[in-house]
Amino acid sequence: MAAHLPYEYIYLRYKKKFPHVWCPGCGIGIVMGSIIRAVDTMNWDMNDILLVSGIGCTSRMPVYLDFNTLHTTHGRALAFGTGAKLANPSLKVIAVMGDGDALAIGGNHLIHSARRNIEITTIIVNNSNYGMTGGQFSPTTPPGTFTATTPYGMMEPGFDICSLAQGAGAVYVARGTVYHVMELDKIIACALEKPGFSVVEVLAPCPTNFGRANRLGDAVKMMESLRDTTITQVQAEKLPPEERAGKTVRGVFLDRDDNEGYTARYARLCEQAAGGVSTE
CATH code, domain with 67:
3.40.50.970
In a domain, 270, yes or no: yes
- 2 within some domain: no
Task: Give the chain's domain count.
Answer: 1
Q: Say if 41 falls within a structural domain.
A: yes
Q: For residue 141, give the nearest of 100, 179, 178 by alpha carbon.
A: 100
Rg (CA), the chain: 19
* Amino acid code (one letter) for 143: P
Residue 89, domain member (yes or no): yes
Q: Digits of tens for pLDDT over the chain (280 positions)?
A: 455 677 777 899 888 878 899 999 999 999 999 999 999 999 899 999 999 999 999 999 999 999 999 999 999 999 999 999 999 999 999 999 999 999 999 999 999 999 999 999 999 999 999 998 999 999 999 999 999 999 999 999 999 999 999 999 999 999 999 999 999 999 999 999 999 999 999 999 999 999 999 999 999 999 999 999 999 999 999 888 888 888 999 999 999 987 688 999 999 999 889 886 655 5
Asked if residue 280 belongs to a domain, the reply is: no
Say what the pTM is.
Answer: 0.93
The pLDDT value given to residue 276: 67
pLDDT of residue 141: 95
In a domain, 227, yes or no: yes
> For position 18, what pLDDT does the model report?
84
Q: Tell me, what's the pLDDT at 91? A: 96
- The boundaries of the domain holding residue 98 are 7-274
Domain-located, residue 82: yes
With respect to residue 279, please indicate whether it lies within any of the assigned structural domains. Answer: no
Q: Alpha helices of the chain — where are they, by DSSP H? A: 7-10, 28-40, 61-64, 77-87, 99-103, 107-116, 161-168, 181-193, 212-213, 219-229, 233-238, 241-244, 262-274
Helices vs strands, H then E, count in the chain = 13, 10
Cα separation, 207 vs 129, in Å, equals 11
Find out whether 243 and 164 touch, Cβ atoms under 8 Å: no
